[in-house]
Chain A
Amino acid sequence: MVLEATMILIDNSEWMINGDYIPTRFEAQKDTVHMIFNQKINDNPENMCGLMTIGDNSPQVLSTLTRDYGKFLSAMHDLPVRGNAKFGDGIQIAQLALKHRENKIQRQRIVAFVGSPIVEDEKNLIRLAKRMKKNNVAIDIIHIGELQNESALQHFIDAANSSDSCHLVSIPPSPQLLSDLVNQSPIGQGVVASQNQFEYGVDPNLDVELALALELSMAEERARQEVAAQKSSEETEDKKMQE
């Protein structure tokens, strides 16, 4: 239940039109952003999230730190997918947005999506990472698509890491949803933990009726499956007898 202010950086460069993630890199990213937003907001009643883009040739803050899901949705609506990504500039602007958070007790975190080649010099990136570490900004990077960036990003995370607060998750193209894969990674730890803690992902102490309903539904489903299995075995026996 860490008290955090998180800036989420979306890569909306032209590389996001690629269809190697389902349905496209950009749409997969948007789903994952929704998942991360909900996870962060549900984690702590005082957590806040902001949103910005790093593509379209210049980073742009779409939503300052908020808990309002509607504001977040409208900020993500109709984003252009064009130009090149400016990863370094995006990180610096995100840090500036976090610096102006209202609640100074909140820890600062940046969750950045990187899905296009990084043009910045590695030395400059490491210098930037050290500055982030100095300012107590934790950084999570969800790296998709352009896997030639991996070593540069790994060095960046290593330089920014302080007591295992930063993570790099490289996700190669696969038929699975990006949001599910991020969910299973250290970045999505909160969701995984809360869902795996209880059967059916619901705490019976908080919602007794829902837990009972799910239990009952599961029992009915098991019974139905048993009947179906019995029926099919009987049918096969009948066929054998007829032969």
Chain B
Amino acid sequence: MDTEMSVNMSDFLHDQATRAPESLQQSYILMEDLYERKLWKQLTDALIVFFDTPETVPLRLPLYTNFVNSFRPNINQLKAVYMGLKAFESCSNDEALRNLNQIVNELDEEKYKDAYVYSIVAIARIKLISGKLDEARELLVKASKIIDHIDYVESLIHSSYYSVSADYYKAKADYAQYYRHCLLYLSCIDLDKCSHTELVERAVDLSVAAILGDIYNFGELLLHPVFELLVGTQHEWLHDLVIAMNVGDLPLFERLMGQINKMPLLQSSVALLGQKIRLMALIELVFQLPPNQRTLTFDTIARATRIPSNEVELLIMRALSVGLITGVIDEVTQIVTISSVQSRILNHSQIASMESRLREWNQNIKNLSNVVEISGKGVFV
């Protein structure tokens, strides 16, 4: 029986090789050899290389259904599912969904948690494309719970999960969650293997999410290599806008208003952007002050944030409510005493300013120790 099966596979592979381009024929010979020697690990690796080659798209489905399925129980199930997904790229969404459901039903959820999660995340992606957001959400929640209980999670699973989650939040226009999941996705993948276009697209989406979302700390984005890809493209103004937002640069923000109005998504939220950049300007103002001089008048804040004095209190209350600062407002004397600023990821200029502040603090301590030494000579004898 086994010999008969081997002969059938040999015939099948020969038949497929004749249909394949000349450059791929060597792959079929290698597959046949490894199959006959039952070297499943090496065969899996050879198949993954084959499936990752762009010109194999029309050849994948017959190879998967007839060849890979014949020894699928013997190989790494996660890799088997990965090959399945690659094979179903040539199918319609409905057909791919049907095939994936079949794979999920055949998988032992307890034994192959990683492959099971990868499959249901792939199903969630198709549901998302089909516009069935609630069903996709259910699958993502289920996947998240399983991932939490897997002791060793491959980056392939994490990247797949975060990618679909990010797409879900993008569809839902939940900017803060999209920003978080998209950054997590980018941390799981090898950026060198992604196309430049895809990365620029991600950078644009991330920038918009950072600007529109309930996010007041742009450090992760500013320091990410993907963000720098916006420079030299038609979206360079977004790069400048995020930098302006981060430091509360109102003049630059006003210069970019023309570009902002060209993007409908941002144009509809101009008032929100104005409030946000003023909050960032307030934080930057506080951050640059020495810790012993963090008592500000409403007029100082009004000048720095370019708003009328009667709106300063509202701005401070907003900053307090979102946890950007902690402090006390004295409405009678029109001053605000700030005790702390939200911790944030610093850029190089902010780190330089912190360095100078630390040097100043160090010098003050030296001066104080000298004063104590001189004043207390009589006591220390």
Which A residues fall within an 8 A CB radius of B?
A: 14-15, 17-20, 24, 56-57, 82-83, 173
Contact = CB atoms under 8 A, between A and B. Distances in A.
Contacts of B41: 14-15, 17-18
A56 B76 CA distance: 13
Nearest to A16: B41
Nearest to B76: A14
B40 A19 contact: yes
B37 A82 contact: no
Contacts of B75: 17
Interface in B33-82: 37-42, 74-76
Among A14, A57, A83, max chain B CB count under 10 A is at: A14
A17 B78 CA distance: 14
A15 B42 CA distance: 8
B76 A19 contact: no
27 contacts: A14-B41, A14-B76, A15-B41, A17-B40, A17-B41, A17-B74, A17-B75, A17-B76, A18-B38, A18-B39, A18-B40, A18-B41, A18-B42, A19-B38, A19-B39, A19-B40, A19-B74, A20-B37, A20-B38, A20-B39, A24-B74, A56-B152, A57-B152, A82-B76, A82-B152, A83-B152, A173-B37
Contacts of A83: 152
B118 to A, nearest CB: 14
Given A14-B41, A18-B42, A19-B38, 5 more contacts: A20-B37, A24-B74, A56-B152, A82-B152, A83-B152
Contacts of A56: 152
Nearest to A115: B41
Main secondary structure of the interface of B (DSSP, over half): loop
A57 B152 CA distance: 10
A20 B76 CA distance: 16
A60 to B, nearest CB: 11
Nearest to A82: B76
Interface string B17-46: 000000000000000000001111110000
Contacts of B152: 56-57, 82-83
Size class of the contact patch on chain B: 10 to 19
A15 B152 CA distance: 18
A149 B380 CA distance: 73
Contacts of B38: 18-20
A90 to B, nearest CB: 17
A238 B48 CA distance: 65
Nearest to A24: B74
A16 B37 CA distance: 14
Contacts of B39: 18-20
A113 to B, nearest CB: 16
A190 B127 CA distance: 62
A18 to B, nearest CB: 5
A29 B58 CA distance: 40
A202 to B, nearest CB: 38
Contacts of A18: 38-42
A146 B101 CA distance: 37
Interface in B146-178: 152
Nearest to A22: B38
A18 B42 CA distance: 8
Contacts of B76: 14, 17, 82
Nearest to A21: B38
Shortest 4 CB-CB contacts between residues of A and residues of B:
A19-B38, A15-B41, A17-B40, A18-B39
B102 to A, nearest CB: 23
Contacts of A173: 37
A191 B140 CA distance: 55
B37 to A, nearest CB: 6
Interface in B333-379: none
A82 B41 CA distance: 10
Contacts of B42: 18
Interface string B253-284: 00000000000000000000000000000000
Identify the interface centre among B38, B41, B76: most chain A CB within 10 Å of its CB. B41
Nearest to B75: A17
Nearest to A25: B41
A24 B76 CA distance: 13
A79 B42 CA distance: 21
A17 B40 CA distance: 6
A24 B39 CA distance: 10
B367 to A, nearest CB: 53
Contacts of A14: 41, 76
B77 to A, nearest CB: 10
Interface in B99-155: 152
Nearest to B41: A15
Nearest to A145: B39
Contacts of A15: 41
B222 to A, nearest CB: 34
Contacts of A57: 152
A206 to B, nearest CB: 43
A14 B38 CA distance: 14
